Structure 1
């Protein structure tokens, strides 16, 4: 049996559908009883930050073979928190390690953790690999890295296997954050001064990430994934301008991009205190996912153009 967290989220909900389609028995952690998932999915009510108070969790984990942990805190809103790092740590580090300890006590065989490429860093001049020295660039990434360290220590000292996945930006139907904003701008025909941005970014299609997670949750098919870290991507690096054109093409609209020198946009961004955001938008972030291919025989099941078309068709349909 598989125990899944984050089942109502962007990645978790897609993963849940794949598990059910594959005939897997799944139990999902939900925050309250009012949440209703698809038919056939068992639910356990609980708060990640207070797992000890979740009735039925310990018993459920005793029947679980693999925990797949996708739930996370990705944003601190409105600057209201006096200690943002601590707020990230509560969910992304502390709750993760508490769930892992409970899983260990229950005899769970494998713990699959969705981390972030941000653990490697936010920019690079050559593709990131699993062997790079981690350089988390913000509080979110740091909290994820600390969770990774704790999980690997548990794996080192016990017989519970750990698999860590660091995806770059994930795109697909319902994608939140930056990708969701790009889609909205393109659909509305907003003119964007990004026609001269020719950087290289690795992304991962939702279908590809889910497929890799399905593989890692299957111990028989992924024996060599034991206690390993994986970076995955589509294997197709694109510039922000090319990505926007691909999105526009998928929706059958014109990409209203106009050229503005990147150095000028960087300068203006720094003037208004948005320098970090500009660097992430204009800089390179590439991922080498050859380890997943070489060790597990995994390869992407869908290309960017087809994932975007699938996204549009799902919206229409």
Structure 2
């Protein structure tokens, strides 16, 4: 009988996409839910662990900071300790590029010195450090994956907000901002995880992003194309937009400073290391992945 792949965080966005992907590739999967993870459990007889469970970054900043460390660090530490004592061969931990940097100048690589500013990023980095600091028994491997912004069918967020602008024929008013940022299609993330389960590569940290970075203007064009529309781009002076965003901070409007930064910042992530290690190309292009996500918004 083929050994099973243990998945934590199976009910989340990545988990709901990863499990059918792995099953389609003839992998057996086992869900490890939060209650089991917080109590005693045994995973002997399994082949690998894919640790997706975690507390996501709260853009509304209403979360208790301690929750990030309890979930993202302490639970990861506990699970990794179980892995080290078991007969499981591989441990895949989904971290984040936010464990390294909140602002990127140039292109982010695995060589960058981590300097996270949020409790989310700091807690992920603590988990990374713990994994790296433990002696790894012979025959075992760990992979710390740092994805950038993940998107795909069923995922909401800023992309969905942009889509609604385009769908309602509302001009995109931030066209004067010139930026580039990386995205990650859920299809490419699932592909990388499956490849890591099948191949023997060196343990370590690997960033994951689609091949091509895109400007927000290009994203608007892709979203418009998915609807059969022509994009409406308005180049309102950036200083006026920043003033409006500060007004939004005060009155809790949809456009605030944090959301403006998310839409217009530069955040380019290199995927060169993981592609070289796997010696393969990703199955989905940046544009095709975003088009698929956009079409799902209209369902």
Normalising to structure 2: TM-score of the pair? Answer: 0.87
Contact 1:93 / 1:146 at 8 angstroms: preserved in 2?
yes
Q: Which residue of 1 aligns with 2:7?
A: 4
1:74 aligned counterpart, secondary structure: coil
Q: Which residue of 2 aligns with 1:249?
A: 225
Contact 1:174 / 1:180 at 8 angstroms: preserved in 2?
no
Of residues 141, 146, 155 in structure 2, which corresponds to 1:166?
A: 146
Over aligned residue pairs, what C-alpha RMSD do you find? 2.3
Of residues 51, 65, 68 in structure 1, which corresponds to 2:39?
A: 51
Give the Cα separation in 2 of the matches to 1:245 and 1:10.
25
| Correspondence 1:224 to 2:206 | no
Deviation digits for residues 240-263 of structure 1 (CA, Å, limit 9, x no counterpart) = 121111112112234343221223
Deviation digits for residues 249-288 of structure 1 (CA, Å, limit 9, x no counterpart) = 1122343432212233234434654444433332210011
Contact 1:4 / 1:69 at 8 angstroms: preserved in 2?
yes
Contact 1:64 / 1:108 at 8 angstroms: preserved in 2?
yes
- The unaligned stretches of length 5 or more in structure 2 are 250-255
- The unaligned stretches of length 5 or more in structure 1 are 32-45
Of residues 248, 262, 283 in structure 1, which corresponds to 2:238?
A: 262
Deviation at 1:78, TM superposition (A): 6.5
Give the Cα separation in 2 of the matches to 1:76 and 1:240.
22
1:210 aligned counterpart, secondary structure: helix
Of residues 199, 212, 234 in structure 1, which corresponds to 2:192?
A: 212
Distance 1:17 1:278, change over 3 A: same
Normalising to structure 1: TM-score of the pair? Answer: 0.83
Deviation at 1:143, TM superposition (A): 1.0
Question: After the TM superposition, which parts of structure 1 deviate over 6 Å for at least 4 consecutive aligned residues?
Answer: none
The aligned runs of 1:192-211 (5 Å cut-off) are 192-211=172-191
